[in-house]
Chains A and B, each alone.
Chain A
Amino acid sequence: MKEFKILAVLVALVGITYYGIEPYAHSVMHPAVAPADFTFQDVKNVDTSLAGNVENGKVLVEANCIACHAIEKAGHPAMMPNADAAASYGVVPPDLSQAGRIYDKNYLANFIFDPVTAMHVQQKYNPESGKAFPMPSYNWMSPQDIMDVVAYLQSVAPKVADNVEGHKSTFEAACGRCHNMQYAGIEATTPASVIKEHMGANPPDLSQYIKSRGEHYLHSFINDPQVLLKGTSMPRVGLTEKAQEEVIAYMEEVGDSKKAERESLGVWVILYSVIFAILAYLWKRKIWSEVH
């Protein structure tokens, strides 16, 4: 009985200290921020309730987009190699094959209307700084036309499987133009020297971000980088919740590849320890019965 009392005191002291230096201290150093918003309701230049016309969208895309953007899935290859494209635009323009799948509809429509506002990078691209974002605003297009473009992009986007391959293709489409992922052998399609000029610094390698930032931080950060890191040059990319989950899943598959093994082995080792402790207790009781 007395030993339980000692144990209770010990557990209380260790528990209080642990609470203070881990959950509590981290909540002070990393205060909670506004929850992620996957509806992107803050940008509302385009009435996204309009139903888009795929046929008309195809015509508009072929007239307006493919001069800069590839759409491999719809038979429009890139106009020039990545290095040349990067040199001309500052960053490789994205292949739009996946755009209709990975970007939120509301975000995508408003992005076409005004990219800088949708991306939350006004601090960098404004009349004062004199810098212009490589893609022009299509604010002269009617909302109906924009929704037609969105509808077309959604129609050409291929479905991907919910496995590592699928997660990888989402990651490459969403992040792969700027970020390396060394541990997966992925190199940014924009050359490092060019992207440094474009962004002001080299975007970090994401191999270990699942560990250094953690799922919780990434969930909020990818949704809107400005919320956690005000002034960062990383734009809001406007991923749907599902696409973002796929990106994070891929980061985990690469950065913490042994997670499943760790968690299944952990259960067995703990079970073993329990059996070890029970037998040790029975042995101890037998031995001590002679001396008490």
Chain B
Amino acid sequence: MAEFKKADSMLEWFDQRLGVVNFAKVMMTEYWIPKNINFLWAMGVLLTVLFTFLVVSGIFLLMYYKPDANMAFDSVNYTIMQEVAYGWLFRHIHAVGASVVFLIIYIHMFTGIYYGSYKKGREMIWISGMLLFMLFSAEGFSGYMLPWGQMSYWAAYVITEIFGGIPFIGDDLVVWIRGNFYVADATLTRFFMLHVLLIPLAIIGAIVFHFYALRFPHVNNEAGEFFDFDVEAKKYLAGNKKHSKVIPFWPVFLSKDVFVLGVFLIFFFYLVFFHYGFAMDPINFDKANGLKTPAHIYPEWYFLWSYEVLRGWFFEIAGISGKDLGLMAFGFANIIFLVMPWLDRSPVVKPANQRPYFKYWFWLMIADLMVLTEFGKLPPTGPNAWVGFGASLTFLVLFIALPFITKAEAAKVKGKK
């Protein structure tokens, strides 16, 4: 800048120093989103809002929480829940928010799969999204330990025990993760660190990356149509708003999102104040006791499907123990969504219901995940064990078959043309 002229307004003063006018254009008023969308496109904004709720409520919980095996339970259930003004509200928002955030993540994720928003240039959006899913899972798991109730303790015990199945280093790895031979104070303090610092930092980084990845291939639309965003943006800016296929992020896209958010908040606050039991398990109001196993141990609902994939393998096949088979299936289930863009061999980007074979695959996959979720909670006895095995096997078969199904579909679609 050769010459620096005195600013006439506050906006200009800031613009000279930070380039805010251009920044607002790039981030808001000239960030183009397709017009042909439905409310499912609002899930990203919902997730951003929920994450903000979690950070803010978490900050206040952090003021009174004590990460110590002897003090944690009472610091949550007495100090925060009964003494601190609105402490109960922050805990309810934090617990219910953490559960509901997964509901929205799943809706967001399956919307992406349904509309094929993970391929033809959108691979990095998908991968960063799946990375966020994994980070949120780690965040949810580490946070669930902190109230140090019976379910906190035993869920932590069972999940860390899973690592014991890794060949050779398993047993040592479990002790290393826990910081003790069993889930103990050292486990609590290290997971506390992960929950309040390391993982949230990683999540914030991954969110920025996820948003950045959206910039180049652009947001998908309801028809899976590809068009030139620059041409459509010019139309819009020239005043031909009705015929342009794009809308600016602010205010048009956000006005719709804010309305969806409003409806969502009614539902969310109903859960927070009146129906929170699903996110705050009664068993967790018993203090952790390493020598007393609760009758039923189950993870939070959002882990049930992968827990059932792990648990469905309860007998030996070809000399490999059920436990090892389950562990392999569990590993498969946790990475397979990541490579979704390469499993779908069809170049077609369209809603699933307009794809001749994929539509069956999609709804079957949803049904299978629902069955897995259900049986992941039920006690695995009698026929339940076999349903679990069947659903777990179906899950593997579905994903192994996906490349073949989509390849056949591509051939069929090509043949028609």
Chain A residues packing against B (C-beta within 8 Å): 2-3, 6-7, 10, 13-14, 16-18, 20-22, 24-25, 28-29, 182-183, 204, 207-209, 211-214, 257-258, 261-263, 265-266, 269-270, 273-274, 276-281, 283-284, 287-288, 290-292
The answer for the CA separation of A224 and B81 in the assembled complex, in Å, is 31
Neighbouring B residues of A279 by C-beta, 8 Å: 262
Q: How far is the CB of A160 from chain B (nearest CB, A)?
A: 24
The answer for the CA separation of A161 and B35 in the assembled complex, in Å, is 65
The answer for the CA separation of A24 and B379 in the assembled complex, in Å, is 12
- 5 smallest CB-CB distances across A and B, nearest first, come from A266-B273, A277-B262, A212-B285, A211-B285, A20-B374
Measured as residues with beta carbon below 8 angstroms from the partner, the interface class of chain B is 35 or more
The answer for the CA separation of A16 and B39 in the assembled complex, in Å, is 21
Taking a contact as CB atoms closer than 8 A, the residue among A25, A207, A284 that contacts B377 in the complex is: A25
Neighbouring A residues of B262 by C-beta, 8 Å: 273, 276-281
- In the complex, the answer to whether B269 meets A270 with C-beta atoms within 8 Å is yes
Interface positions of B from 365 to 403, Cβ below 8 Å from A: 366, 370, 373-374, 377-379
Q: Does B27 contact A (CB under 8 A)?
A: no
Q: How far is the CB of B219 from chain A (nearest CB, A)?
A: 16
The answer for the CA separation of A257 and B263 in the assembled complex, in Å, is 30
The answer for the CA separation of A21 and B256 in the assembled complex, in Å, is 32
Q: How many A-B residue pairs have CB under 8 A?
A: 129
Taking a contact as CB atoms closer than 8 A, the residue among A18, A262, A273, A292 that contacts B265 in the complex is: A273
- In the complex, the answer to whether A6 meets B40 with C-beta atoms within 8 Å is yes
Query: With contacts A14-B103, A24-B374 known, what are 11 further pairs, Cβ within 8 A?
Result: A21-B301, A22-B278, A28-B378, A262-B92, A266-B274, A280-B255, A281-B262, A284-B256, A287-B252, A288-B256, A290-B241
Closest residue of B by beta carbon distance from A267: B273
Secondary structure of the B side of the interface?
Answer: helix
- In the complex, the answer to whether B283 meets A212 with C-beta atoms within 8 Å is yes
- In the complex, the answer to whether B259 meets A7 with C-beta atoms within 8 Å is no
- In the complex, the answer to whether A263 meets B274 with C-beta atoms within 8 Å is yes
Neighbouring B residues of A290 by C-beta, 8 Å: 241-242, 252
- In the complex, the answer to whether A273 meets B266 with C-beta atoms within 8 Å is yes
- In the complex, the answer to whether B282 meets A284 with C-beta atoms within 8 Å is no
Q: Does B159 contact A (CB under 8 A)?
A: no
Neighbouring A residues of B255 by C-beta, 8 Å: 280, 283-284, 287-288
- In the complex, the answer to whether B377 meets A21 with C-beta atoms within 8 Å is yes
Q: Report if A21-B107 is in contact (Cβ < 8 Å); known contacts: A258-B81, A263-B274, A284-B256.
A: no
Taking a contact as CB atoms closer than 8 A, the residue among B38, B78, B259 that contacts A281 in the complex is: B259
- In the complex, the answer to whether A277 meets B259 with C-beta atoms within 8 Å is yes
Q: How far is the CB of B186 from chain A (nearest CB, A)?
A: 25
- In the complex, the answer to whether B81 meets A17 with C-beta atoms within 8 Å is no
Q: Does B251 contact A (CB under 8 A)?
A: yes
Closest residue of B by beta carbon distance from A292: B242
Interface positions of B from 278 to 337, Cβ below 8 Å from A: 278, 282-286, 295-296, 301, 304
Neighbouring B residues of A288 by C-beta, 8 Å: 252, 255-256
- In the complex, the answer to whether A277 meets B263 with C-beta atoms within 8 Å is yes
Q: Does B272 contact A (CB under 8 A)?
A: yes
Q: How far is the CB of B46 from chain A (nearest CB, A)?
A: 13
The answer for the CA separation of A212 and B73 in the assembled complex, in Å, is 13
A-B contact pairs, 10 of them (CB 8 A): A17-B374, A28-B378, A212-B284, A262-B89, A269-B269, A280-B259, A283-B258, A284-B259, A288-B256, A292-B242
Taking a contact as CB atoms closer than 8 A, the residue among A17, A29, A280 that contacts B373 in the complex is: A17
Q: Report if A291-B285 is in contact (Cβ < 8 Å); known contacts: A25-B374, A266-B269.
A: no
- In the complex, the answer to whether B259 meets A263 with C-beta atoms within 8 Å is no
The answer for the CA separation of A10 and B77 in the assembled complex, in Å, is 35
Taking a contact as CB atoms closer than 8 A, the residue among A2, A274, A291 that contacts B266 in the complex is: A274
Closest residue of B by beta carbon distance from A25: B377
Neighbouring B residues of A263 by C-beta, 8 Å: 273-274
Q: Does B136 contact A (CB under 8 A)?
A: no
Instruction: Find the residue from A273, A278, A281 having the highest chain B CB count within 10 A.
Output: A273
Q: Does B51 contact A (CB under 8 A)?
A: no
